[in-house]
Amino acid sequence: MLNGQEFGLTAEALGFDPGEIQEIVSPDAQHIESFVIPTFRGLLRLGQQRIYYSRQLDRNEFARTSQQRKDLEYKLKDGLISYFSLVNMEAGKETIDLNKIRASFRPGTALEDNNSQYAKSVDSYWAIILKGLGAKHLKPETYTHYFCPEQQACLPIHMPKSSAAYQQKIRRTRWAGGTSEFAEMRVFNEFMDKQATHFVNWSEGKIPEEAYIVGRTSLGEYNFNAGGFVLKGLKEVNIGPVQEEYNVDTATSLFKPNYQPEGQPYQAGILISMSPEKAEAFLKKLNSSGRSRQLYYVYKVRIRTRFSEEALNNTDFHKMVTYAQEPASRTIEFFSDDALTNKVLEISN
């Protein structure tokens, strides 16, 4: 579902247009909350994200909508983290055995319990991932049942989820609130019986085949000798788990320089040819002034997943699943705004 209607994330409810977002629908609406991720044209949006919370807004609008803007930024950022946890589960599903995960659990290990980099086995790694998803997405009453001392409400639901106090509570979540090893073991086993399968099933079909990646660049001064603007530093964007595995020198790169004056390698870049008259009109369309000529560039990629047996054998479990991007189109689009609503240029390279 786009535009977050089920979450009240509409322009009418928020006081501003949130743009395109997508709901990742809960596998169990009674106990687990859905979440949202940023999208563009119906596909996952990665890289540079829209900045909703900015003091450059009109003073009255900032005062009226600042908390909603901050909350939405947090929800989308946190949603991407959860989304890729699910994607990792799908890509690594051959290593997920709920019985072995249950047997790997040791109560009282607070640090290991919350940080997957401390996992000593692939089973304890998945136990940590499942717990992290539970802490973030179980509904408050269900969260209380599994994570609060004596099953007394301890989640600060009166606080915005973007607040530091709320985020700290989620990061420090422990089974049964860490009251005793017996209580921890009891609720962990119950979670494995009743909730774990929902989260594992939630991961099915989550590996994205394509995505849009967004970067940011700046338009330099018009180059009268070259007859256009030279965009320097344009490159594939490394974003979280989806890493590039090529550079501007490879055959598949979208960002090969097509302009390099002799003896001046530092001036190499992608030349956008246009006459001085068109260039002046283009800058007016861009609504820029002086030397502030920021652009957002967008390109479409296919995403490939790979599972690393080497990482598994070396206990680098957070590196078991890797992702690579390759161009799905030779088109690069340019927008003047991070909401990607004002398209000002398109090139094929």
The domain locations on the chain are 5-202, 210-348
Q: How high is the pLDDT of residue 7?
A: 61
The reported pLDDT for the residue numbered 240 is 62
What number is the average pLDDT over the span 13-18?
89
Closest CA to 208 of 84, 330, 318: 84
- Among residues 171, 173, 116, the alpha carbon closest in space to that of 319 is found at 116
Among 188-202, 212-226, 316-330, the range of highest mean pLDDT: 188-202
Residue 208 and residue 302 in contact, taking contact as beta carbons nearer than 8 Å: no
pLDDT of residue 241: 63
What digits encode the pLDDT tens for the residues 216-274?
988 888 999 899 998 877 777 776 666 555 455 566 778 888 888 877 777 788 899 99
The whole-angstrom separation of Cα 61 and Cα 66 is: 8
For residue 247, what are the CA distances in angstroms to 233, 236, 250, 256, 257?
12, 7, 6, 9, 11
Q: What is the mean pLDDT of the chain?
A: 87
pLDDT greater at residue 285 or residue 5:
285
Q: What is the DSSP letter of 332?
A: E
Residue 243 CA to residue 322 CA, distance in Å, equals 8
Exposure class string for 160-183: b at 16+ Cβ within 10 A, else e: eebbeebbebbeebbbbbbeeeeb
Average pLDDT on 170-178 reads 91
pLDDT tens, residue by residue, 54-99: 877 778 888 888 999 999 999 999 999 999 999 999 999 999 999 9
Instruction: Name the most confidently modeled range: 1-15, 55-69, 153-167.
Output: 153-167
Task: Confirm if 326 and 308 have CB atoms less than 8 A apart.
Answer: no
Q: Which of 66, 71, 126, 117 is nearest to 93 (CA)?
A: 126
pLDDT of the residue at 176: 94
**Whole-angstrom distance, CA of residue 68 vs CA of residue 162:** 10
The Cα 244–Cα 241 span in angstroms is 10
So what's the pLDDT on residue 244?
A: 54
Q: Which two tokens stand for residue 277?
A: 């008259």
Residues 309-316, mean pLDDT to the nearest whole number:
90
Per-residue pLDDT tens over the stretch 38-49: 999 999 999 999
In this predicted model, which residue has the larger pLDDT, 267 or 171? 171
Give the residue among 262, 257, 250 at the shortest CA–CA distance from 234.
Answer: 257
Distance CA 195, CA 127 (A): 12
Percent of the chain with pLDDT over 90: 53
The DSSP element (H or E) to which 169 belongs, if any, is: helix 164-171
Q: From CA 7, how far away is CA 128, in angstroms rounded?
A: 27
3-class secondary-structure state, position 259 = strand
Contact 233, 269 (CB under 8 A): yes
Give the residue-averaged pLDDT of 301-325.
88
Residue 6 has pLDDT above 60, yes or no: no
Neighbours of 235 (CB within 10 A): 14
Of 184 and 12, the structure prediction assigns the larger pLDDT to 184
Instruction: Specify the pLDDT at position 109.
Output: 59
Q: What is the pLDDT of residues 113-155, one digit of tens each?
A: 566 777 889 999 999 999 999 999 999 999 999 999 999 999 9
Global confidence as pTM: 0.89
281 is written with which tokens? Answer: 């009109």
CB atoms within 10 A of CB 189: 13
